[in-house]
Amino acid sequence: MLEGMTEANCIFCKIANGEIPTEIIFQSEQILAFNDIAPEAAIHALIIPKKHFRDVADLTTQDKTLAAELLAAATELAEQLTDGNFKLQFNTGAEAGQTIFHVHAHLLSNSPRKLT
């Protein structure tokens, strides 16, 4: 995946606009969440703003309200899916492992919420 990727050829923009069908696990006006195609934990979801930002640094610089909304959505999803033990991760920059240059939070957990 090219680091210079823009909205035109961005896979997460295509998921957000429905061009690539994906099972949605959470949706609001501005936020979308879906399961990672290659899960690295029992729970591995990706939470994105529908609008394109390159990474979490760009998002936070350009729209703090949306950044807060992304964090709130990720945390709410974590509360629904896990027992409270989870990681939220933003890979930022190719050398830090970012491969898709549309900001996304990884929600990772091996502690699924127990059904009561």
Task: Mark residues 1-40: x for contact with Zn ion by CB under 5 A, - for none.
Answer: ---------x-xx---------------------------
Q: Which residues bind ligand 5GP (CB under 6 A)?
A: 11, 22, 34-38, 46, 91, 97-100
Which of 43, 46, 47, 52 touches Zn ion (CB under 5 A)? 52
- The runs of H, that is alpha helices, within the chain are 11-16, 56-62, 64-81
Return the closest-CA partner of residue 106 out of 38, 15, 60, 50: 38
Task: Return d(Cα 13, Cα 114) in angstroms, integer.
Answer: 33
Q: What are phi and psi of 6, to 5 degrees?
A: -120, -175
**Could you say which of Zn ion, ligand 5GP, none residue 98 binds, taking C-beta under 5 to 8 angstroms by partner kind?**
ligand 5GP
Catalytic center residues = 104
